[in-house]
Chains A and B, each alone.
Chain A
Amino acid sequence: MLVFVVKRLANAAMVMLVVAFIAFLIFRFIGDPVNLMVNEQATQADRDELRTRLGLDQPFAVQYIRFVTNAVQGDFGISYRNQQDVMTLIAERFPATLELVLAASILSLAIGVPLGVITAIHRGRWFSEALQFGSILGVSLPSFVIAILLILVFSVTLGWLPAFGRGETVQIGWWSTGLLTESGRRAIVLPAIALASYEITLVMRLVRAEMLEVLRSDFVKFARARGVPRRVIHFRHALRNCLMPVVTMTAMNVGTLIAFALVTETVFQWPGMGLLFIQAVTFADIPVMAAYLCLVSFIFVALNTLVDIVYAVIDPRLRDATA
C-alpha cells in the first residue's frame, strides 16, 4: 500500500513538472514584457539591462530550473504588471472567483433541477418542449453574449443591478467576502446568472434524462399502484434516485466553472483570478501566468491523486493492478 501511495505521489509530482514545462514553452511565444514595462523614452541599454535583471536573457533550461526551484519553496516572484507578490495577488483574487463559482453552482441546481423534473413529468406538453428548446440557448449562446444582454436589460434599461465590480466587501481574516453587504449581493447576481447559464441547461437535461429512466422503473409503477400521490412519487422517490449523478457532475464541474469564469469575470470586471489571468496574458506577465497555471493544475492533480488513493483503499484489486 505504501509503495502504491509513493508511486501515486511521484506521478503527481511528474505531472506538475510537465505542466510547468509546457507553461514555460508557451511563454516563449507570448512575447516580451520588457517593452511594455519601460517608457517610450527608455534607451536600448536600459531595456537590455531590465531584461537581464529579470533573467529573460537566460537560456530556456536555466529559466525553467530556476522557476521550479523557487516554486517548490512557494516563491513565485513578483508580478510585472502589479508589482505585487504573486501568491498574495492570487490569494486576494481567489475568494472572489470561488464565491462566484459557488453562487453559479447553487443557482444551476436551484433552477436546473425543478426544470428537469417538470420537463420529464410533462413530457410532450407544449411548455416542456418550449423549455427544452429554450435551454438550447443556454448552451449555444456564448457566455459573454449572455452577459452583455443581462447588462443591457438589468443595468442599462431597468437600472436594477450594477453592471460591473463586486460591490463593498468585508474582510474576514484573509478571506474577503461580498456576500455580507447589500451592494456585494446585488453585484453577484448578474455574473452568477451569466456563468450558470450553461450549467443550468446541463443540470436540467441530466435530471430530465435520469427522471425519464427512473419513471419507467418498477418501484415507481408499484408506488403508483399503491396509490401514492403523484407529487410524492415524483419529488420524494424518483428525484432522489436521480440526484446522485447530478451532484457528482456539479461537484466535478466546479473546476470547469473556474475556467469559464475567465470570460464572465472579464465582462463584469469581477476582480477574480480569471480577470487577473487574462490581464496577465495581455501584458506577458510571466510570473502571474506561471503561478496561475501551476495552482490550477495543482488543484486538479491533488484531487485526482486523492481520488486514486481512496479508490485503492476501497478496492484492493486496483492496488494490485497498478502496484
Chain B
Amino acid sequence: MSVLRTTLMAGACAVGLVSGLSAETLRWGGGRDINSMDPYSFGSSYTLAFLNHVYEGLVRYDENLQIEPALATGWEILDERTWRFTLREGVTFHNGAPFTADDVLASLTRVTHPTSPLRGNLPAYASAEVVDDHTIDITLTGPYPLLLNDLTNIHIFNAQWLVDNNAELPTDFGAGTESYATFNANGTGPFRALERVPESRTVLEVFDGWWDDAQHNITRIEFTPITSAATRVAALLSGEIDFTEDAPVQDLARLEAAPNVTPLVTSDLRTVFFGFNQNETLHDGRPNAFTDIRVRQAFGHALDLELIHRRIMRGMSRVSGSIVAPEIPGWREDLDVPPAHDPELARSLLQEAGAEGFSFSITCAYNDYVNEEEICNAVIPMLNRAGFDASLDIGPSAIQSQKSSNRQTDVFILGWANLPMLDSFSILTQVMHSLEGTRGVFNWGSWSYPELDALIDAASTELDFDTRIGLQSEALEFVRDNAILMPLHQQPMAWAATDRVSEVLQLGDNKARHWKTRIAE
C-alpha cells in the first residue's frame, strides 16, 4: 500500500511538473460546461456562479449569505416604487472603461428585454433613470421587498462595450444569431476572461484593477468541464485538477482515503420534497385520493426519512421537516419536524379515508438531484408496506419535467434551493401559490388555497423585513399543516480539492467563490 501511495504522489508531482504550472494557477474541473460567457443568455445558476468571477452585481452575498454592497455603495427607498442606488466610484471594467450609472441602465434594459431568458430574475422591474454618473433610480411595478436579493445576480455590463459589439440585446434563440457576448466578457470582477473553448477550457486571469481587496492569491483559473464523474475523480487523484465543485457522492470515501485530496461536504440549501396532484383525477383519469389530507399525511408517515438519510445519502444529507433550509429566512425550528415514521398509522389513515390500495405513480428523473433514482426506488416499497399501491415512472429529465409542467403527474419530486433570491418567498410564490398570473409556475399539483395565496400576496408587497418573514413563516406553517408537500432532506453537496489548495470558501448555495480561494505557497 505504501508503495502505491508513493507512486501516486510521485505521479501527481510529475504531472504538475510536466504542465509547467506556476503555483498560482487554479485548475478547476467542473461537472459540466458553462453555457455561455453571457450571464443573461441562460437561466442557469451554475453559469451565473462561474461568471460571478468576471461580472459583478450592484450587491452581493457575504460569507454569511447576507446582502452587502458591491458595485452600489448604498440605497434608499424614495417611495414605494422607487429605489435610489448610489454607485461605487473608481471602479473600472476590464477594458479600462469607468463604471457609471449608464452601465447599470444598459444592463437592466438588456436583462429585462422580452427575449432575455433571465427576465424572471428581476420580476418587479419597470424602468430606471440615471440621476447622475453615480446615482440611479430604479422604478418598480409595485411595492416589492426583494429587489436587493434579485440584484445580487444581475451582472453589470459596460454600456459602450455592448454598443460597440452590437450586443445591446440578449441572444435570441428564435432569431438564430450568435452574440459577441457569448464568447467575450468585460466585467468589473476579480478575474478577466482570457480564452473560451467550449467543452475544453475557459481561462480567466486575475484583474489587477479590481476595486475590492483581493483575498485570494490566484493569478489564473483554468476551468475544464469533465462530465464523466469517474474521470473527474481520476483527474483529481492524479493531480491534473486542483478543485471540483462536483465530487460524486459515491466516491467520497475513496477521495477521503487518497493522501492528496480533501473532500468538502456540507448540506446544500436545496430541499428535496414530494408534491401531490390535487386535481379531481389522476393523470390517467382515475379518481384522485390525494385531495384527501389524510392520504397525504399517510404518505408522510409511510416514509422512513432516517433510513434514506443513512443508507442512500450515506449520512450526508440533513433530514428535514421543513420545505426550506434553516439558512433561508422564513424557516422556523418548530416547522422543521418531519412526520413520525409509522406505517401502521399510515395504514389506518388510509383506511379511514377509504383509500387502501390506492394506486398512483411517482414521477422521477434519473439525476436532477443527488441520488434521485435511488431515493425514488426506495420510497416505493416504503409506501406499499403502508397500504399504497405506488409505482415508479422514471425517465430523463427533459421528458419528466415536461410531464410535470403539463400537470400530468400523480406525485412529483422537486428540489428547491430558493436561489438566487435566498428567501422563502421564492418557493412560496413559484411553487405554493395557485397558478395565476406570474405565480405558481411550479405548482405542479394544481392546488389552490385562498388562505395561503392571501398570505403570499401580503408578503409580496410588505417592505418591513420582520413582518414579511412572519407572514412567510405563517405560509410555511400552512403548507405543513395541510401536508401539501412532503419534504425529505436538504441534499448534500460535495466539493473536493487537492492539497495545492489551502483555503476555499464553501457556502450552502453551492457556488465556488475563488476570489476567496488560496493556493498553498
Report which A residues bind B (CB closer than 8 A).
29-33, 35-47, 49-50, 53-55, 75, 77-78, 80-85, 89, 93, 148, 151-152, 155-160, 162-166, 183, 266-269, 271, 275-276, 279, 282-284
Binds A, one of B95-103, B275-283, B347-355, B397-405: B397-405
Contact call A80/B173, Cβ cutoff below 8 A: yes
Contact call A82/B36, Cβ cutoff below 8 A: yes
Partner of A156 from B8, B118, B227, B442 at Cβ < 8 Å: B8
Q: Which residues of B sit under 8 angstroms from A77, Cβ to Cβ?
A: 176
Partner of B225 from A31, A45, A148, A269 at Cβ < 8 Å: A269
Contact call B399/A269, Cβ cutoff below 8 A: no
Contact call B230/A37, Cβ cutoff below 8 A: no
Check B2 for interface membership: any CB of A closer than 8 A.
Answer: no
Contact call A159/B171, Cβ cutoff below 8 A: no
Contact call B238/A282, Cβ cutoff below 8 A: no
- In the complex, A85→B405 CA distance in Å? 29
Check B178 for interface membership: any CB of A closer than 8 A.
Answer: yes
User: How far does the Cβ of A171 sit from chain B's closest Cβ, in whole Å?
Assistant: 11
User: How far does the Cβ of A238 sit from chain B's closest Cβ, in whole Å?
Assistant: 43
Q: Which residues of A sit under 8 angstroms from B7, Cβ to Cβ?
A: 157-159
Most buried by B among A44, A163, A183, A275: A163
**Given A42-B441, A55-B174, A275-B199, A83–B35 Cβ distance below 8 Å?**
yes
User: How far does the Cβ of B407 sit from chain A's closest Cβ, in whole Å?
Assistant: 11
- In the complex, A46→B113 CA distance in Å? 11
User: How far does the Cβ of B73 sit from chain A's closest Cβ, in whole Å?
Assistant: 26
Name B118's closest neighbour in chain A (CB-CB).
A39
User: How far does the Cβ of B111 sit from chain A's closest Cβ, in whole Å?
Assistant: 11
Partner of B401 from A35, A82, A148 at Cβ < 8 Å: A35
- In the complex, A43→B232 CA distance in Å? 36
Minimum-distance CB pairs A-B, first 3: A159-B11, A31-B398, A39-B43
Q: Which residues of A sit under 8 angstroms from B8, Cβ to Cβ?
A: 156-157, 159
Q: Which residues of A sit under 8 angstroms from B227, Cβ to Cβ?
A: 266, 269, 275, 279
Name A166's closest neighbour in chain B (CB-CB).
B200
**Given A156-B237, A164-B235, A148–B398 Cβ distance below 8 Å?**
no
Name A70's closest neighbour in chain B (CB-CB).
B176
Binds A, one of B119-127, B245-253, B468-476, B479-487: B119-127
Partner of A42 from B45, B117, B437 at Cβ < 8 Å: B117
Q: Which residues of B sit under 8 angstroms from A163, Cβ to Cβ?
A: 231, 234-235, 238, 240
Contact call B398/A157, Cβ cutoff below 8 A: no
Contact call A284/B43, Cβ cutoff below 8 A: no
Q: Which residues of A sit under 8 angstroms from B405, Cβ to Cβ?
A: 32, 35, 47
User: How far does the Cβ of A149 sit from chain B's closest Cβ, in whole Å?
Assistant: 10
Contact call A164/B231, Cβ cutoff below 8 A: yes
Q: Which residues of A sit under 8 angstroms from B197, Cβ to Cβ?
A: 271
- The 22 listed contacts between A and B (C-beta, < 8 Å) are A29-B399, A30-B398, A31-B398, A37-B173, A40-B430, A41-B430, A42-B119, A44-B438, A49-B114, A78-B176, A78-B178, A83-B41, A83-B42, A152-B234, A155-B238, A156-B237, A156-B238, A157-B11, A159-B239, A163-B240, A267-B230, A268-B228
Contact call A36/B398, Cβ cutoff below 8 A: yes
Check B38 for interface membership: any CB of A closer than 8 A.
Answer: yes
Name B421's closest neighbour in chain A (CB-CB).
A41
Q: Which residues of B sit under 8 angstroms from A37, Cβ to Cβ?
A: 42-43, 117, 173
Q: Which residues of B sit under 8 angstroms from A89, Cβ to Cβ?
A: 198
Contact call A156/B228, Cβ cutoff below 8 A: no
Name B16's closest neighbour in chain A (CB-CB).
A159
Q: Which residues of A sit under 8 angstroms from B359, Cβ to Cβ?
A: none
B139-160, CB < 8 A from A: none
- In the complex, A82→B173 CA distance in Å? 10
Q: Which residues of A sit under 8 angstroms from B239, Cβ to Cβ?
A: 159
- In the complex, A283→B11 CA distance in Å? 36
Most buried by A among B173, B174, B182, B419: B173
Contact call B240/A164, Cβ cutoff below 8 A: yes
**Given A30-B398, A267-B231, A83–B182 Cβ distance below 8 Å?**
yes
